[in-house]
Every structure is written in C-alpha cells, then in structure tokens.
A and B are shown apart, each in its own frame.
Chain A
C-alpha cells in the first residue's frame, strides 16, 4: 500500500494535520505565530549540523530548535528587549548562521529550495513512522498538559495562584513546538510549517464559539487542506506543499462568510 508515493504523501499529511491542528490553536491563542517562524528558521541550522555530523535530521533540528527556544526564554528574562525584537534577532541570526555553515562545508550540495518548501511527495516509509509515532507522542503530552496550559493561556497569574505551574507547561509546550517542526521539516519545509500551524487554527477560530470546538475544527480544517491540496496538486500539477497551504487559504476565505453571517445576525 505504501508503494505509491501519493499514498505515502497522504499518510504523512494526515498525520501532520492531526498534530498541527491542536498545537496551532495554542500558537494562535498565545500569540506565538512569529515564535513558530523563529523555530522554523533555526531549523535550517539544525539541518546543516545534521549533514556535517551525519546524524538524524529530526533529532538535530529538535535539539537546535529547543536550544533557540530556551535561549529566547532566557533572553526574555535578562534583557529589556520586547519579545518580538528578540524573536526577530534569533530568527534571522540562526538562519544566517545556518547559511554560513552551508557555505563553509562546500563538499555538500544542498537543495535549498527543498529545505525551504519541503517535498511531501518524496517521503519514505520511515518518514511516515516518524510523523505518526512522534505525532502521537506530541499529542499525548499536549493532552497531559492541556488543562494547565489552557488555564495559563487564559490568565497567567490566576493559573499560577491556583497551582497550575504555568512556567513549567510553557517550557513543555515550547519543546512540543520544536518537536513538531523537527518531524515535519522534511515534508513541508521550513517556510510552510508555520502556515500549517496557523491556518487551520485561524479557520477554526472563525467558526467556533468554545475552545474544544476550535481544536476539533482546527484538525478538520488541517485535514481538508491536506486532502484538497494534495489531490489538486496531482490534478493540475502544482507543487504539493504550497498547494496544501493555498487550499488552507481558500478555506480561510470561505470561513469568513460565516463571520459575516453571524455579525449580520447580531445587528
């Protein structure tokens, strides 16, 4: 069954959508969109290190992304710079360092376009296993920290006062983001990961009235983006990663109709 490249792509895409849906909701709620971007940029450095030291790409990306995330948490505490400035600093400098390292090791030829946009049609059975196994692990941890994470998203002090340990769950959540980027980098590429995190959640926000509903709609929107994107890329011969995101964008535009309707209802 996994012989067909298209079936493999479908499995990886569906596995990813199942994970990015719920994670993306928290990214949107916590205003971390740019943070996901920063982690994705730092992934390039992780990939080059993986090539030079000949270690697993996912592992290397996870380590580097986690380090960048921890560095951010540290810098937030020690400097007076606003978080968005620090994020920009880390995003661009880690991307730059990654490109410099690529330049230094001239022996390795990189397909930079492949890294930036990924190639979901080139995944192998191993990738499917990584996405589904890693994804299941991420979802399990997210389920375990859901309550305190949600509480501290709503109000940090309230959560802390009532014993929800917001700092700890924030760190764990950051690691989960690093993990999803690590396992999906090869498939959708670093420029499109944040799209997969934010678009489904944004679509879901438009059509849901409560947090659990938003998580469910977000998963559905992610799955629809993957299916529509992949099938249409096959039909009209377009690059599959960007097709998935474009499908998501179209769904987002459709979801705006619902907002317009309900606001008309109110007035």
Chain B
C-alpha cells in the first residue's frame, strides 16, 4: 500500500504537526482563521522550502485544489486546456470528471467567464480527473451553492472510496464535513486535538475553541435527500 505520510514540525506559522494520510482515508483539518490549516496543507505538498521537522511523500501522483487561485488573464485559456494543465488526459476522462462535478457544460468556456462556484467545480474536476493517490483540498466548496456543496462533499467521499486515494481536506464548514471524514485534526497554531470526528467534537479543547453550541451541531448533521438537483436547479430523479 502506498502511504502518503507526513510529519511536519514548523515553528513559525504552525508548529509540531504530525499526521499521516493513508490511502482511502479522509483526514480533515479544522481550526479558526490563521490557525495554520493552509500552511499545513502546503507543507504536506512540499511548497515550503525551509521547514523544521520532516515531510515524507510516498507518491508522486498528487492533485491539489488550492484555496485561492489567481490566474493572469493575459492567458487565453479554456476549461478544456485547464483540465490538462499538469497531465495528459483523454477527452473522455475530462468529460467524465466534469460530469461528476456538474461542470460538463462548461468544457469549452473561457476560464475567465466562470463564476466562483463554477470555477470551484472545475478545480475539483481537474483534481479528480488526475486520479491521484493523494488529494489535497483546501476549502474546495467555497462559493458553491448549498446543495452543490453537499453534493461535492458526497463526491469527495465517493472519490476516496473509488480511487482509494488519501484525502487531506480543509474546511470551515464543520457540520457537513464531520460525518464524512475518518480522522479530524483540529489546529490552532499547533495540533489542538485530533481523533475520530465524535471524539474531537466531544473534546474539551475543541469546545473551548469553537464554543459549545457550535460543536453540538457538528456531529449530528445527517442529510437525506431523495432527489438530486441539476446544476441549473432542475430536479433529477435518482
């Protein structure tokens, strides 16, 4: 089994983070703003040159959905070109990936013309199409409408099951994430607490960090939807 193991120890932005991402598991990073979630993800990806501690990668097949992406519009680039940015995909693979994130109709659109939510779906599709061993998602659903958000989280769960890849997920949307994840790491400049979703939700430190009311909502969220919505809002039968 290929493991993407990460052991990080950074003094400045975030300190003494140790975690291991196994194939087929979803690890979620939560924490308040500035607690080092993104920093941790970037360390895992090897984007920082000088870190203390050690990061070990066991795979090169990595896909990354960054939190913010700024693209220079001097570049003429369509969704199709963007999908192939770091890999050579068959047209069919591209179509399939766009289909499952609900962005198929955007294939020939200029990247510039997409809305925030559409762009996020394309970013997800690109990461999925790469069929990675390690998938790092930094707030992957921001700007996506609420039902789309839940669909995308369902999709993340599905990806980890079908592709058997390790997923490192960052989210501020705690209540949706919690029910889908195997392991939660709560950060606040350091590892505040970690474990299964329920154990974290019940953890004193965690409750101090987010307030008791918030933390109570978290673990109970379960959503049953008997129909699906198309991207344009139309109802699709399951």
Q: Please give the residue numbers on chain A whose beta carbons come within 8 Å of chain B beta carbons, in ascending order.
A: 28-29, 31, 147-148, 150-151, 153-155, 157-164, 205, 208-214
Can you give 8 contacting A-B residue pairs, CB < 8 Å?
A: A153-B75, A154-B77, A155-B71, A157-B64, A160-B47, A163-B60, A163-B62, A210-B77
Query: A151 contacts which chain B residues (CB < 8 A)?
Result: 85-86
Closest to A156 in B: B47
Q: Which of B47, B74, B82 contacts A157 (CB 8 A)?
A: B47
Give A173 to B207 CA distance when docked, in angstroms.
52
Instruction: State how many angstroms separate the Cβ of B52 from the closest Cβ of chain A.
Output: 20
Interchain CB contact under 8 A, A211 and B81: yes
**Contact B78 A210, beta carbon cutoff 8 Å:** yes
Min CB gap B61→A, angstroms? 9
Bound complex: CA of A159 vs CA of B71, how far in Å? 13
| CB <8 Å contact, A213 and B72 | no
Q: Are A157 and B81 in contact (CB under 8 A)?
A: no
Q: Tell me if B110 is interfacial: C-beta within 8 Å of chain A.
A: yes
Chain B 184-218 near chain A by CB (<8 Å), digits 1 or 0: 00000000000000000000000000000000000
Q: How far is the CB of A14 from chain B (nearest CB, A)?
A: 25
Question: A190 to nearest B CB, angstroms?
Answer: 24
Instruction: Please indicate the chain B residues that have their CB under 8 angstroms from the CB of A214 in the complex.
Output: 76
Who on chain A is nearest to B123 by CB? A158
CB distance from A176 to the nearest CB of B (A): 19
Residue in chain A with minimal CB distance to B85: A151
Other-chain residue from A29, A161, A208, A213 in contact with B46 (beta carbon distance below 8 A): A161
Whether A162 touches B76, Cβ cut-off 8 Å, given contacts A151-B86, A157-B42, A211-B81, is: no
Interface pair A209/B78, CB less than 8 Å apart: yes
| Chain A, interface SS category | helix
A154 to B74, CA, bound (A): 10
Residues facing A in B43-79 (CB within 8 A) are: 45-47, 60, 62-64, 66, 69-72, 74-78
B85 engages A150 (CB within 8 Å): yes
Known: A157-B66, A161-B46. A31 touches B74 (CB 8 A): yes
- In the complex, are the beta carbons of A158 and B66 less than 8 A apart? yes
A224–B158 Cα distance when bound, in Å, is: 53
Chain A residues contacting B69 (CB-CB under 8 Å) are 155, 158
Asked whether A213 lies within 8 Å of B85 as measured between CB atoms, the reply is no
Residues in chain B near residue A150, CB distance under 8 A: 85
Report how far A158 CA is from B66 CA in the complex, Å. 7
Q: What's the minimum C-beta distance from B23 to chain A, rounded to whole angstroms?
A: 18
Taking the complex as formed, is B177 at the interface, i.e. its CB lies under 8 A from any CB of chain A?
no
CA distance A28 to B78 in the complex (A): 18
2-61 of chain B: CB within 8 A of chain A:
42, 45-47, 60
Nearest neighbor of B88 in chain A, beta-carbon distance: A147
Q: Please state if A29 and B85 are interface contacts (CB–CB under 8 Å).
A: no
10 closest Cβ pairs, A-B complex: A161-B64, A161-B45, A162-B86, A151-B85, A151-B86, A29-B75, A210-B78, A163-B60, A209-B76, A208-B76
